[in-house]
Amino acid sequence: MQASKAYEANFDGLVGPTHNYAGLSFGNVASRSNEKSVANPKAAAKQGLRKMKRLADLGFQQGVLPPLERPSIRLLRDVGFSGDDASVIARAAREAPELLAAASSASAMWTANAATVSPSADTEDGRVHFTPANLAAKLHRAIEHGETRRSLGAIFADEARFRIHHALPGTPALGDEGAANHTRFAREYGDKGVEFFVYGKSEYGQGPQPQRYPARQTLEASRAVARLHGLSSDATVFAQQSPDVIDAGVFHNDVIAVGNRTTLFCHERAFVDQHKVYDELRTKLDALGTPFTALEVPESEVSVEDAVSSYLFNSQLLSSADGRQLLVVPQECRENARVAAYLDSLASRKTPIDEVLVFDLRESMKNGGGPACLRLRVVLDDAERAAVNARVWMNDALFTQLDAWIDRHYRDRLAPADLADPKLLAESRAALDELTTILGLGAVYDFQR
């Protein structure tokens, strides 16, 4: 049965002023391979902003999520550094530069890891549910969820329509990486759908595990989020990511698969017992009167290594108002001959993908984040959309404001050694203080000293 008209909104993270390449993410090939190189925070922020504006201009619902306060003086004080802010940063730079790097990471820009979101059509209480990801596998990300919850609360403040949970306990057994390991299938966005949770391992169960890189998402965490959101067992599917692709650098499912409405676009090596996964999705969707198509890319045409280096699957699969599906990919897909050839062949294959849009996201890509990493998908009906903080929706005026804001506050060069500069903290705080006014966020930052 069709519910009220609903839309999929994409909320992209603004890249923060401390965007740098510290190589903090073991298992993320791009992040580690670009470690210690020089970043351009201004270019990074503008690349992401231009993607948002282009998609908004094409008619997609596009919102903005703010950066978190970085460097995190709170983290540095929690691990024993004291004195005024400049002294805290200076001592951390001398004694524990790895902790200063973690405290300075702009990783919250990848809002696919901000939370898992279930729309009101799926949940028991008829509200949109958010569970911020605990990101327990990495220190620089494990400190995000409290601030993320405040940001979400400032944007989705209507408690009659939105339920924002606390993150799961931050233990490896409940490692949760958010929407990067979650997607949803439905005929129309407002229909009841099937939510698809992908995990890397079970903490307490049996099954294969990666040997080279860690599995960050557990089955136990995925099941816990589904319970919190009040999802029914007949409308959830849990699938294990193939351990060998994790070992090849697929640290999240959104590096090897992306879904939208009735389409799953993935590599043939994405999941354990892949065809059983398809069968379960197809059966549960069929019970809702919803078709299902798996567009599977064979290893013979695009290898896992090609997929990781180009981020073919770390793409956005979007439905336009006329029902056509667009695939949003980074320009690296055009620079890989095998991936480019596959994309060029889509039109002749009669696939569910009607058009490919290419974006320059080089600064994000060098840290291991493509188009899908930069967005959090939130399905909203008309009343829910009206309840969202109106100032975060992308339009001409907001684009102009944010573009000028980036010019005022962002550096065009930042090396890891520059994290020791106490002026960076002042610059970041000034930028975020102004941003709260632009986006109407209230007291979302505490600027703890």
CB burial class (10 A; 0-12, 13-18, 19+) of residue 78? exposed
Whole-number Å distance between alpha carbons of 303 and 308: 9
Q: Which of 182, 332, 373, 384 is catalytic?
A: 373
Active site residue 140: no
Backbone angles phi and psi of 15, in degrees to 5: -70, 130
Alpha-carbon gap, residue 427 to 280, rounded angstroms:
51
Query: Is the peptide bond between 243 and the residue preceding it cis, with omega within 30 degrees of 0?
Result: no
The verdict on whether 252 is a catalytic residue reads yes
Catalytic entry in 129, 252, 267, 409? 252
Rg (CA), the chain: 21
Establish whether 332 is a catalytic residue: no
Neighbours of 350 (CB within 10 A): 6
Interatomic CA distance for residues 179 and 110, integer angstroms: 10
Q: How far apart are CA 135 and CA 125, in angstroms?
A: 26
Set 8, 144, 147, 177: catalytic member? 177
- Residues annotated as catalytic (active site), given as ranges: 177, 252, 373
